[in-house]
């Protein structure tokens, strides 16, 4: 059988052939067909290769999240169907794996091109390599957090070496990859700060905004993205595991020196890919091929896009209704049941419910008897962006670091309240950029602050309330981060029913199994990690044992 990495290389070299616009070939030519391919176009190629994992409207990102990751993090309601509800559909995970290696391969071509430049040309092209590396680390962190050890240091080089004999990359330990990313992002921060101070060469400054369809050439936003990503990773390793000292040291250093380490902290800082991105659209026509919201099958009555009981509970819904104690975001996050005996009530899918109860409530003659995510905000929102990093995540990370004594610079309470406020800001922004109705205005700042203060005052355990709000912020826009933080901390406190009929995943996994194509295509190296390739092998940063209760 052909090695998976050979197949990925072939996919990368032909990926552009199926684009909606022939203009892609003009602006981002196939490296295998072009004598000279420029660093700026290779950078854009790196971003483009991961488009299915960064654009909210793309089917594959959310089908994987809502059917598998959303189940494991309980960010989505799911049926307690027997025989495999926790293992998920392996092809979706394999798709995500392959897309990462296609993206990494594109980056390796850029690395090679950049390394061969003269010193003078490196000065002109330095920024393209830096921005592509930030993006690769963002994708790599996500992959490591799902699988653990993965091929990295030897992966993706076939277009450079054309050596099939060495096309079978070894697996790198998750701790080694995290160490590289934490150190690499620090170096990138320094180099970007220097470029911001000196200014880009004139040619680079004229080209970058058109090639960078994420931040449109705004180096300060890239610097904030790099630092916020490093903050996320440092926090991830600070609770337990062999990198706790390194992680806590980074948190302390970064949060005590905000001038050196600027972060994504406001609505304007949020890292996202606009659904109607002019800088990219002008070159590409409509590259996304038909824009839609992030839950594109959410219109179907038989759809599994339904709210979880965990979300409804955290929103403060009482007996199916909104009260003065409920979260003001409720109206823009979830919808009440449309018809039937529960009409007008907010009802989430109970993970402890029997399969018969679930099936009856899904198949009710009047329609599904569970709430769904707001179609105005999500499924029908043609302006829904590809969300990469929110300001609220930064503030909740700060709040936890301050609360645990891993850093100083403010108080956990103030950081927590800022996190809640920025979550409100972003979700109401998402809601109001939609062309659909009905629309709900954002609460005034005083109402948001009062709600955040109430949450803080009523919490008997500060870390719990911080992480519950962090989970709520990511629940519908970044489920993979919600699952990672749940495994790290055990918050929010969730209960699952055992799936007695499943042969290998009777309870929620701690990680994903390596894809089948990896086992057959990179067999020799997979054999070195075969003993760790179980659903219940915790990642080094994760809470030991179950991150949930099983009934």
Helix axes 202-211, 39-49, angle to 10 degrees: 20
Q: Which two tokens stand for residue 293?
A: 């919201």
| Cβ neighbours for 350, distance < 8 A, ≥ 6 positions apart | 309
Tell me how far apart the alpha carbons of residues 49 and 136 are, in angstroms, rounded to a whole number.
Answer: 11
In angstroms, the CA 339 to CA 317 distance is: 19
Tell me the CA distances in angstroms from 296 to 92, 259, 291, one per residue in order.
Answer: 16, 41, 10
Structure tokens at 56: 């909210």
Q: How many H-runs (helices) and E-runs (strands) does the chain carry?
A: 24, 8
pLDDT < 70: residue spans in the chain? 1-36, 56-60, 162-166, 277-304
Do 141 and 103 meet the contact criterion of CB atoms below 8 Å apart? no
Q: Which helix (H) or strand (E) holds 463?
A: helix 462-474
Distance CA 96, CA 151 (A): 14
| Beta bridge pairs of residue 373 | 334
Is 0.95 surpassed by the pTM of this model?
no
Per the listing, tokens 């076939």 go with: 158
| pLDDT for res 285 | 41
Residues 6+ apart with CB under 8 A from 470: 392, 393, 396, 397, 400, 419, 485
Can you give the pLDDT at residue 551?
92
Query: How many Å from the N-terminal Cα to the C-terminal Cα in the chain?
Result: 42
pLDDT at 390: 98
| Structural domain 4-289+380-497, CATH architecture | Alpha Horseshoe (1.25)
């Amino acid at each position: 059988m052909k090695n998976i990495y050979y197949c990925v290389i072939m996919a990368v070299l032909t990926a552009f052939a199926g684009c909606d616009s022939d203009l892609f070939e003009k602006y981002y030519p196939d490296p295998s067909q072009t004598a000279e391919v420029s660093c700026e176009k290779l950078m854009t190629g790196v971003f483009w290769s991961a488009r299915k994992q960064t654009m909210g409207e793309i089917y594959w990102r959310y089908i994987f999240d809502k059917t598998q990751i959303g189940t494991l993090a309980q960010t989505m309601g799911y049926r307690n169907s027997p025989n495999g509800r926790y293992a998920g559909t392996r092809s979706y995970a394999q798709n995500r794996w392959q897309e990462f290696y296609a993206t990494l391969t594109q980056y390796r071509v850029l690395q090679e091109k950049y390394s061969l430049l003269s010193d003078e040309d490196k000065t002109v092209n330095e920024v393209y390599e830096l921005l592509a590396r930030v993006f690769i680390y963002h994708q790599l962190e996500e992959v490591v957090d799902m699988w653990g050890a993965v091929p990295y240091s030897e992966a993706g080089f076939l277009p450079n070496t054309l050596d099939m004999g060495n096309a079978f990359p070894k697996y790198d330990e998750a701790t080694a990859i995290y160490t590289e990313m934490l150190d690499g992002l620090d170096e990138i921060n320094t180099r970007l700060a220097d470029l911001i101070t000196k200014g880009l060469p004139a040619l680079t400054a004229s080209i970058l905004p058109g090639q960078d369809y994420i931040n449109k050439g705004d180096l300060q936003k890239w610097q904030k993205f790099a630092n916020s990503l490093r903050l996320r990773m440092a926090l991830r390793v600070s609770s337990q595991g062999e990198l706790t000292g390194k992680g806590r040291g980074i948190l302390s250093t970064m949060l005590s020196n905000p001038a050196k380490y600027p972060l994504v902290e406001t609505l304007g800082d949020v890292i996202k890919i606009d659904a109607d991105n002019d800088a990219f659209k002008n070159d590409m026509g409509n590259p996304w091929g038909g824009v839609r919201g992030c839950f594109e099958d959410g219109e179907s009555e038989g759809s599994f896009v339904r709210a979880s009981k965990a979300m409804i509970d955290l929103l403060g819904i009482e007996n199916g209704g909104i009260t003065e104690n409920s979260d003001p975001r409720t109206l823009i996050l979830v919808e009440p049941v449309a018809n039937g005996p529960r009409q007008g009530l907010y009802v989430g899918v109970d993970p402890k419910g029997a399969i018969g109860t679930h099936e009856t409530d899904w198949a009710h003659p009047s329609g599904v008897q569970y709430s769904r995510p707001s179609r105005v905000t999500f499924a029908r929102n043609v302006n829904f962006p590809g969300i990469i990093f929110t300001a609220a995540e930064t503030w909740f990370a700060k709040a936890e670091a301050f609360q645990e004594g891993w850093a100083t610079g403010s108080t956990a309470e103030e950081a927590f309240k800022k996190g809640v406020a920025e979550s409100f800001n972003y979700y109401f922004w998402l809601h109001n950029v939609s062309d659909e109705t009905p629309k709900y205005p954002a609460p005034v700042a005083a109402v948001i602050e009062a709600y955040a203060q109430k949450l803080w005052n009523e919490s008997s355990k500060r870390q719990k309330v911080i992480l519950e709000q962090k989970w709520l912020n990511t629940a519908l826009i970044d489920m993979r981060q919600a699952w990672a933080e749940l495994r790290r901390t055990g918050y929010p406190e969730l209960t699952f029913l055992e799936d007695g009929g499943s042969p290998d995943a009777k309870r929620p996994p701690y990680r994903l199994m390596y894809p089948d194509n990896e086992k057959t295509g990179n067999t020799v190296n997979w054999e070195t990690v075969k003993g760790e390739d179980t659903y219940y092998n915790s990642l080094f940063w994760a809470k030991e044992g179950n991150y949930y209760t099983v009934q």
